[in-house]
Amino acid sequence: MPVQGTMLIGQSALHGVAPSLNAFDPALGAPIEPSFGGATAADVDRACRLADTAYESYSRTDPELRAMFLEAIAANLLALGDELVDRTMSETGLPRTRIQGEQARTAAQVHHFASVVRSGLWRRATIVSADSRKAVPSPDMRLHKVALGPVAVFGASNFPLLYSVAGGDTASALAAGCPVIVKAHFSHLGTSELVGRALQKAVADFGLHEGVFSLIVGAGNAAAEALVDHPAIKAVAFTGSQAGGMALVRRGQQRPEPIPVFTEMTSVNPNFVLPHVVATRGEALAVRFAEQVAAGVGQMCLKPGVLIAIEGNGFGAMRSALQDAVSAKPAATMLSPGIHDAYGRRTERQRAAAPVIASGGPPSGKTDGQALLFEINADALLADITLAEEMFGPAALLVRCSQFSDMVRIAERLPGQLTMTLQMDAEDAALAKALMPVLERKAGRIIANGFSNAAVEFTSATNHGGPFPATSDSRFTSVGSSAIDRFLRPVSYQNVPAMLLPPALRDENPYGLTRLRDERFETVRQKREAVR
């Protein structure tokens, strides 16, 4: 079915009557039909009320049913095939291979949360048995985690699939048992509608309450503010700019009932290149660094944007190789006119204090981003650390240090990051060890001899978060198994009769969970042996 220009509220598809908007083709410089009518306050209210009603049944679904529902979403997403890929290419200017890869990774991420649901570890089911032998008898205590309630998700500008309608925020919230209302990013309206239908179909096919998923659109801030303000919403997830993220954080805290707003905002993902690497393989590293800076026209939250190295043996050769590699990068279409204009403003500000030492191919289109390499010494950067702020586009900053202590001082002054990378050899071990305590305070993920914007793995050991301003809450991740924790809260049951206990805490363990009983892990096999 072609894009209709509709938003999806429960099982309904409707054209909004608020001011209309169109997606935009950044390569052609033209709007894309059809127009989408924006959501009114009444539309937002209807979606939120449906989600609130759906919460009671959906949050109590059997884990196998919930996992199968997630798997159906993934299958429906893949089934969209070229229809989705073609529309997304038009709305972003991204190449086919990038979109196809993102479609596959989005489906894989949804599948990952299906396995998370089945494992049950996220429930943290815990039993502490009553003990009448104590001088003061202790009660029977049981605890597990339950879904917070309906969640509002804001689609990202730079990942139209992976961090959007069926992305990690939506998948982890649905895995937790939370109904989801997505506010589509205005740049990806057709993409969002197509993916939204994939979710809508899965809801219907599994006989779930229609309020489990809704998709709204809207120009300006009115629909977003109405969504965050609605009393049915119990949490918000956002990926985007620091200004936008913090506006949502403040709004969530100013409600009569404050709610958590989980944001991923800004990061330059600095690379600390230690001396032995500079001397022995600095040129090769420079070429690889330039490739990562230009990947996706530099429009990735994990783009490595700062390279910090000590002047000495091999530094000049590394610097020259980096200049050559950046100069060879052709200009390419950025995601939207707004992002292109913001990139221009940010790089113009940078030019005032840090000279450009390499420029990529000149732009030929109105929204083309040109690769740029700036350079500054450590003292100048320490005098104005804002020169190391994110340049969202294919630009990077080379920082020259005269000694290792400069590198440490820069690490200490940088704000919180999603990642920090050590480019090191065994001969650099002592220096790396000295840097580690600083990196641990400043970053959510520390990388050795790699690059931050290589594919983020969906594992139980993944952390895609970090200290402010990388995120609004460094305790949580938006990628990996633990992303589900954002949308859960603990409930404890004291001396509650067995017939009233949730299945996860009943002695017979009908879900087959691994549980903590009296400070020891109890597996399903152990439980069955005990019964025999």
Euclidean distance between CA atoms 509 and 506, whole angstroms: 5
pLDDT interval class at 134 (50, 70, 90): confident
For 422, how many CA atoms within 13 A lie in the half-sphere containing its CB? Answer: 24
- Give the model confidence (pLDDT) of 11-39 as tens digits: 999 999 999 999 999 999 999 999 999 99
pLDDT at 528: 45
Is 367's pLDDT higher than 90?
yes
Is 189's pLDDT higher than 60?
yes
- Give the model confidence (pLDDT) of 61-91 as tens digits: 999 999 999 999 999 999 999 999 999 999 9
Report CA 219 to chain centroid distance, whole Å.
23
Which pair of tokens denotes residue 243?
């200004």
- Give the model confidence (pLDDT) of 443-472 as tens digits: 999 999 999 998 789 999 999 999 999 999
pLDDT at 220: 83
Is 327's pLDDT higher than 50?
yes
pLDDT interval class at 137 (50, 70, 90): confident
pLDDT interval class at 164 (50, 70, 90): very high
Please, are residues 400 and 309 in contact by the beta-carbon 8 Å criterion?
Answer: yes
Nearest to 123 by CA among 162, 163, 175, 73: 175
* Peptide linkage before 19 cis (omega within 30 of 0): no
3-state secondary structure of 322: helix
Is 1's pLDDT higher than 90?
no
Is 366's pLDDT higher than 60?
yes
Euclidean distance between CA atoms 359 and 330, whole angstroms: 9
Side chain identity, residue 377: N
β-sheet bridge partners, residue 8: 13, 215
3-state secondary structure of 25: strand
3-state secondary structure of 290: helix
Which pair of tokens denotes residue 108?
């894989």
Is 152's pLDDT higher than 70?
yes
* For the chain, percent of residues with pLDDT exceeding 70: 98
Euclidean distance between CA atoms 64 and 46, whole angstroms: 29
Residues taking part in catalysis: 264, 301
Please, are residues 215 and 13 in contact by the beta-carbon 8 Å criterion?
Answer: no
Nearest to 322 by CA among 367, 273, 275: 273
Report CA 490 to chain centroid distance, whole Å.
24
Report CA 293 to chain centroid distance, whole Å.
19
Which pair of tokens denotes residue 374?
């700036």
Euclidean distance between CA atoms 335 and 526, whole angstroms: 54
Average pLDDT, the chain: 96
pLDDT at 136: 82
pLDDT at 49: 98
- Give the model confidence (pLDDT) of 505-530 as tens digits: 999 999 999 999 999 998 765 554 44
Is 286's pLDDT higher than 80?
yes
Contacts of 136 (CB under 8 A, 6+ apart): none
pLDDT at 36: 97
Euclidean distance between CA atoms 417 and 26, whole angstroms: 30
Is 531's pLDDT higher than 90?
no
pLDDT at 529: 47
Euclidean distance between CA atoms 406 and 410, whole angstroms: 6
Residues in the chain: 532
What is the pLDDT averaged over residues 322-340? Answer: 97
Please, are residues 301 and 239 in contact by the beta-carbon 8 Å criterion?
Answer: yes
Euclidean distance between CA atoms 300 and 304, whole angstroms: 9
DSSP string, 101-117: HHHHHHHHHHHHHHHHH
What is the pLDDT averaged over residues 376-389? Answer: 97
For 513, how many CA atoms within 13 A lie in the half-sphere containing its CB? Answer: 27
Please, are residues 498 and 507 in contact by the beta-carbon 8 Å criterion?
Answer: yes
Question: Taking the domains of the chain in order of start, what are their residue ranges?
Answer: 8-22+32-131+139-265+478-485, 271-448
Domain boundaries 8-22+32-131+139-265+478-485, corresponding CATH code? 3.40.605.10
Is 234's pLDDT higher than 70?
yes
- For residue 489, give the H/E element and its range: strand 488-494
Same fold: 8-22+32-131+139-265+478-485 with 271-448: no
Please, are residues 102 and 213 in contact by the beta-carbon 8 Å criterion?
Answer: no
Euclidean distance between CA atoms 320 and 312, whole angstroms: 14
Please, are residues 70 and 176 in contact by the beta-carbon 8 Å criterion?
Answer: no
Euclidean distance between CA atoms 155 and 260, whole angstroms: 17
Nearest to 467 by CA among 252, 163, 263: 263
Is 133's pLDDT higher than 80?
no
The superfamily in CATH containing domain 271-448 is Aldehyde Dehydrogenase; Chain A, domain 2 (3.40.309.10)
Helices (H), ranges, 162-274? 168-176, 189-205, 222-229, 242-254
What is the pLDDT averaged over residues 244-273? Answer: 97
pLDDT at 532: 41
pLDDT at 524: 66
What is the pLDDT averaged over residues 482-504? Answer: 97
